Amino acid sequence: MSTDITGFFNARTDTDQAAKSIFLGVEGETSDRIISDLPTFLETAGRDYGILRKPALVRDPFGGVDAQGNVCEAIREVDNQYHLSRTSDGRVVSPHTVTKQYAPLTLMDVATEIKPWLDAGWVTPDAVFSGKNESLELLCLRMDANGMLPNGEQWQHYIILRLPHAAGGKCKGQVVNFRPQCSNVYAAIGRGNEFTISHRISSKMDDAERQAAMLARVKMAKNAWKTAQDHIEVLARKVNAWSGKALTVTQAVNLTNTLLGIKSLDDASGVAKNKQEAILNGFDLPEFGTHGATLYDWVNAVTFYTSSPNSPVVAKSTVNPIDRMIRNVDPQGTGFKMEDAAQKLAARFLGGDFQ
């Protein structure tokens, strides 16, 4: 009987057995050594399997004939409809069937595509896990470009690749930032800067086609890394601007009400009031890096509400850590959308378009 494969985390030092950081609460094991090679990391995690198309079957009440010549029930294949299953345990990972035109992509395929990133020393394998009933795999690479932001804070930067199986198109990656002081996840800063892993080197290619594909892979890697570097620069500029903009409690209330669509507290729902209270509580929590004084404190209050395990709302939530991570890093996720909306409001405030 197939089961879910738990998360797997790469040690950050040779003696580190619990380096989950951004993945706090995600179940899994930590490697007993630092694994720098991505295929080896995936193999150790138990995620070096293939993904196969398997014909979909249907129980047809009129599909067979018994020994007496009578029409009877039979199991038959559905024309041009397939499930996707893992070679390791047979687990079906597709939420619905696909046609024969669908080309399965595996984490090992992705590892081949992004090999130049690791060869150049840009990233190190950090974590791998899955969600949405195994139909979405997440591969996290730690960017070896961590540094201090202009306001003196040390952040961590990751590239998270989302690999869907028959549920959302191609494998996409984006830079995700983590503020350790409060355990907040930032992903919406990189909105519009996702990159796609969409091709593989086919055995059917001739030498010229294979060479062209290899050149395209290297170009993709360079472009993706440039996007990642640009992202960190944008993050630094935004944090610097937010940190330098004073914000009163009244202005924080107005920003929060606008974010939540609250026009009048008297008419607001209980859910909206609870959200407002949680965000405003996070506006001034010195132990988690906010001091109720700047626009940066308010933006952090929003991401504290959406993502931090230190937030009382998150701690009491029944949403599991993987689903919460997906909500915060997927552009269609509720956490991502709230963070994005908060940053747009912050930009308006900086521009004098909001008081």
Share of the chain above pLDDT 70, in %: 91
- The 10 Å CB-count burial string (b at 16+, else e) for 77-101 is eeeebbbbbbeeeebbbbbebbeee
Q: How far, in Å, CA of 65 to CA of 58, rounded?
A: 16
DSSP 8-state secondary structure symbol assigned to residue 246: B
Give whole-number Cα distances, 324 to 26, 27, 74, 170, 253, in Å. 10, 13, 43, 21, 25
Tokens linked to 84 = 């996707």
Both tokens of 35, joined, read 């694994």
Give me the mean pLDDT over the 142-157 stretch.
Answer: 75
Span 317-344, mean pLDDT?
92
- How confident is the model over 24-45, as a mean pLDDT? 91
CA–CA separation, 306 and 113 (whole Å): 32
Predicted TM-score (pTM) of this structure:
0.85
- Give CA separation, 75 vs 9, 56, 64, 97, 192, in Å: 42, 10, 8, 17, 46
pLDDT band at 224 (very low <50, low <70, confident <90, very high): confident
> CA-CA distance, 213 to 219, in Å (whole number)?
10
Q: Which of 213, 21, 25, 11 is nearest to 116 (CA)?
A: 213
**Paired tokens of 244:** 């330098």
Under DSSP, is residue 156 helix (H, G, I), strand (E, B) or coil? strand
Average confidence (pLDDT) over 12-39: 78
Q: Could you write out the DSSP letters of every residue in 205-228?
A: --HHHHHHHHHHHHHHHHHHHHHH
Report, as an integer, the average pLDDT of 268-279: 95
Q: How many C-beta atoms lie closer than 10 Å to residue 340's C-beta?
A: 15
pLDDT for position 140:
94
When the pLDDT of each residue in the chain is averaged and rounded to a whole number, the result is 87
Tell me what pLDDT residue 1 has: 42
Q: Give pLDDT, residue 346.
A: 96
* Confidence at 136, pLDDT banded by 50, 70, 90: very high
Whether the per-residue pLDDT at 84 is higher than 80: the answer is yes
Q: Are 307 and 314 in contact (CB under 8 A)?
A: yes
Strands 123-131 and 71-86: unpaired
Q: Give tens-digit pLDDT for 228-263.
A: 778 888 888 899 999 999 999 999 999 999 999 999
pLDDT band at 324 (very low <50, low <70, confident <90, very high): very high
- CA pair distance 257, 332, nearest whole angstrom: 22
Length of the chain (residues): 355
Q: How confident is the model at residue 203 (pLDDT cuts 50, 70, 90)?
A: low
* 296 vs 64, residue with greater confidence: 296
Give pLDDT tens digits for 99-132. 988 888 899 989 988 888 888 888 899 999 999 9
Answer yes or no: is pLDDT of 6 > 60: yes
